[in-house]
Amino acid sequence: MYIVGMNDVAGTHHNSSASLIKNGEIVFASSEERYTRIKFDMSFPINALNAALEFAHIELKDVDYFAVGYPPSSFYLDLFGRNILDLPRSLLGLVGHNFSGMLKYLWPNFQKMYKPPAYHNGLKKIMGVPDEKIVFIDHHLSHASSAYRCSGFNECLTISMDGFGPNAQGKNIAGQIYKCANGDMELLEDIPLYATALWYSAFTVCLGLKYMDGEGKTMGLAAYGDPDVCYDEIKDMVFEYKDGKWIGYPYWVDYIMVPRDDVFMKTHSGRRIMNMIEKHGKEHVAAAAQKLLEERILGYLEKLREKYKFSRVALAGGTFLNVKVNKLILSLPYVDEIFVHPHASDGGTAVGAALELYHQKTGNPAVISLTDSALGKEFSDDEILQDLQSFGDKVEWEKHNGTLPQYVAGALVDGKVVGWFQGREEWGPRALGRRSVLADPRDPATRDKINSKMKNRDWFMPFAPSCMEDKGHLYFKDFCQTSFMTLAFDVVEGKETDVSSAIHVDNTARVHSVRPDNPLYYDVIRKFYEKTGVPVILNTSFNKHGLPIVHRPKEAIEHLLWGCVNELAIGNYIVRLKSTNGKND
C-alpha cells in the first residue's frame, strides 16, 4: 500500500511538504523549499511529490491514498470560542493604527472558508486526484502521529502544541494530548485556540526577527538577558493552565495576526510589546518570554502527570523546536525517555498524516523507530561531476576514494571550514551530517568567522556540535541519544574550551549525536578525535542565511564561490576555488 502524505493541499501553508509511505515504512520525505529555493515555501509541493514518486519508481495512479494533515478550517468562527467580545476587542485595538492592513490580511481566510473545497485543493485541481483517494487527518493528530509513530515507543503520552490547526470538523485548536499504546492513539484533551503558542512568535517579530524563522533566535538571545527585569509586565500576556482550566489573555486574537507583522505590531499587544522592548531592551524581553514559555509548558505537564501516569513522552508541533523546553522536560524526575520528531513543525505532519492513515486503513500499529532523517534525494558521483564541470572555469577538484574522512578531519584541524554534501538529504530543518558546514569547535573565533563572513547570521546565535554518540557523556551532562538535534545539554565542567565555538553563552549545547550507522560522517568525527582528542566537531546547516539548506550539487558549489566555505566535500570529491596547482579528475 502506497500513501502520500502532505501537510496541506491549499498552497497557502508554511513548510509545504510531501512524504511517501509504503506498507507503513517511510520511503521518502522532503519539503518544497529545497526545490524552489524559497525558504518555508507555501506553494503546493509538486516538486517534492514528484521526487517521491520518482524515488519509488511509481506513478501517481499507483498511490492508494493521499493523507493531508490540514483539513478545511472554519477559522473565524473559532475566534469567538472563549468570549464573544475577544475578536471585536482586538479589531477595535487596530482602529487608527492599521485597520486597512488587517482587512487585507483577513480576506484570504474568508475566501478559504466560503469557496468550495476544490478551490484550494491542489491534489484535485492540479494533479487530478479523485476525491475518494484524498483523506483529511486532524492537524494535531497528524503532529502527534509523527511523534508517536516514529518514536519506537510501545506506550507514551504524546503532546502536540503549536500555533493552531483544524480538526476533522474544521475547529481550530492549539494542541492535543494523546495516550498511546500498541499502535492506538486515544485523544485525552484539546488545548483551546486561545492558548495558542503564537504569543512567542509575537515577541519574536517585535524583536525584529522573522515569523517562523526567528523563534529559535529569540531562544538564543534570551541567554543574554535577565528574565526578572520584565517578567511581571509580560506574564499576563501568556496562556496559563490553572485549576484544570485554560486562562487566556483578553487580547489573544491579536496573536492570530502575527504572520503579518506589519499588522500585528500595530495591535494593542504589538504596541505593548514594542514599548517593553524600548523600555527594557531586547535581551531582557527575550529572556522573560523564554522563561514564561518554559514555566507554562512545564506547569501544564505537571498537571498532565497528575491526571495521566506516564514515563515516556513524544512531542511534535512547532513549540517543541525549542530545545531549552525539551531539555527541561527530559530533566523531570518522572520522564525516563523523550522523543521529538525531527520535523516538529507543520512540515512533519506530511509523515504523521500518512502513518496515521495507514494505521486506520490496515489496523497495523504503524510504529517505527526513526533514528535517521536521511529521507530525501541523493545525487550520484556522475551527477555531481556534471555540475562540477559546469563550473570548471571557477573551481578545481580531486577524487578521494576511501580517504575522504581522513582528509576532511585534517582540513578541520588546519582551521578550514568545510561544506559537507553526502548521501540522501535530511528531512526537517536541521543539518545532520548530510548537508552540513563543518569546523573545528576548539577555536572560539570560528563562531564569529562563520557568523559574520560566511553565514551572515545574528551575532548571538550559537552553533551546534556533532558528537560521537559513545563519547557524548564525556562532554555533556545527562547525555542521551539525540540523533535529530532536538535536545540541549549542559556542558561538562572543564570541557568548555574543547567545544568553545559550538556551545552557547549559557554553557549549553544543542547536540547532534552520531552513530556508526552514518559511517562516513562518524568517521570524520572519529578521525578528528584521533588527531585532537576531542570527539566533537562544529556542525551548522549548509546554507547562506535566508536560503533553504542546499539541495543540488550546483547550490553547494555556489556556496563555495560565495565564500561560505573554504572547501567542499561532495560525494567522493574535494572541491576548491581554482588555482594553478589543482587537479581535476
Query: How many CB atoms sit inside 10 A of residue 308's CB?
Result: 12
pLDDT in tens, 515-529: 999 999 999 999 999
Q: Is residue 162 part of a domain?
A: no
- Asked if residues 452 and 460 have their Cβ atoms less than 8 Å apart, the reply is no
Domain count, the chain: 1
Strand 488-490 relative to strand 508-510: parallel, antiparallel, unpaired? antiparallel
234-243, 346-355, 454-463, range with the lowest pLDDT = 454-463
Report the chain's C-alpha Rg in angstroms. Answer: 24
Among the ranges given (169-173, 453-457, 485-489), the one the predictor scored with the smallest mean pLDDT: 453-457
Q: How large is the angle between the packed helices 519-532 and 404-413, nearest 10 degrees?
A: 40
Question: Does residue 433 contact residue 503 with C-beta atoms inside 8 Å?
Answer: no
pLDDT greater at residue 259 or residue 551: 551
Task: Provide the percentage of residues in the chain whose pLDDT is more than 70.
Answer: 94
Q: Are 296 and 241 in contact (CB under 8 A)?
A: yes
Burial (Cβ within 10 Å: 0-12, 13-18, ≥19) of residue 60: middle
pLDDT interval class at 73 (50, 70, 90): confident
Q: Confidence class of residue 580 from pLDDT cuts 50, 70 and 90?
A: low
Is the pLDDT at 359 greater than 80, yes or no? Answer: yes
Q: How far apart are CA 207 and CA 283, in angstroms?
A: 9
Phi, psi at 22, each rounded to 5°? -120, 115
Q: CA-CA distance, 463 to 585, in Å (whole number)?
A: 34
Q: Which residues, 6 or more positions from 91, have their beta carbon under 8 angstroms from its beta carbon?
A: 99, 102
Is residue 309 in some structural domain?
A: no
pLDDT score, position 99: 66
Give residue 79's pLDDT band: very low, low, confident or very high (50, 70, 90).
confident
Q: Letter for the amino acid at 237?
A: M
Please report the pLDDT score of residue 425 as a whole number: 97
The answer as to whether 445 is a domain residue is yes
Can you point out the beta strands (E) in 411-487? 418-421, 435-439, 464-468
Say how far apart CA 356 and CA 286 lie, in whole Å: 37
Q: Which of 165, 174, 193, 156 is nearest to 68 (CA)?
A: 165
CB 319 within 8 A of CB 174: no
Q: What CATH number is attached to the domain comprising 563?
A: 3.90.870.20
pLDDT of residue 25: 97
**CA 458 from centre of chain:** 19
Structure confidence at residue 451 (pLDDT)? 79
36 assigned to some structural domain: no
**Among the residues of 211-340, which ranges form H helices?**
215-222, 231-234, 261-264, 268-280, 282-307, 323-331
- Across residues 413-436, what is the average pLDDT? 96
* pLDDT confidence tier of residue 109, bands split at 50, 70 and 90: low
The angle formed by the CA atoms of residues 268, 274 and 279, to the nearest 5 degrees, is: 125
Mean of all residue pLDDT scores within the chain: 93
CB-neighbour burial class of residue 102 (10 A; exposed 0-12, middle 13-18, buried 19+): buried
**pLDDT one-digit tens code per residue, 22-43:** 999 999 999 999 999 999 999 9
Residue 113 pLDDT > 70: no
Which CA distances in Å does 509 have to 197, 402, 463, 503? Answer: 24, 31, 8, 5
| Cβ partners under 8 Å of residue 74, min gap 6 | 113, 166, 170, 171, 172
Q: At what angle do helices 198-206 and 268-280 cross, to 10 degrees?
A: 50
Location of C-alpha cell 551527477: 383
The answer to whether the beta carbons of residues 512 and 485 sit under 8 Å apart is yes
Per residue in 363-406, pLDDT (tens digit) is 999 999 999 999 999 999 999 999 999 999 999 999 998 999 99
pLDDT of residue 252: 94
CB 284 within 8 A of CB 226: yes
Residue span of the structural domain in which 404 resides: 381-577
| 122-166 confidence digits (pLDDT tens) | 898 889 999 999 999 999 999 999 999 999 999 999 999 999 999
Q: What whole-number distance in Å separates Cα of residue 329 and Cα of residue 488?
A: 11
Q: Is the pLDDT of residue 462 over 60?
A: yes
Q: What is the reported pLDDT for 98? A: 67
Please check whether residue 218 lies inside any domain of the structure.
no
Neighbours of 282 (CB within 10 A): 21
Residue 238, domain member (yes or no): no
What's the pLDDT band for 103 if we cut at 50, 70, 90? low
Task: Check residues 79 and 220 and name the one with the higher pLDDT.
Answer: 220
Check if the beta carbon of residue 269 is closer than 8 Å to that of residue 251: yes
Model pLDDT, residue 83: 86
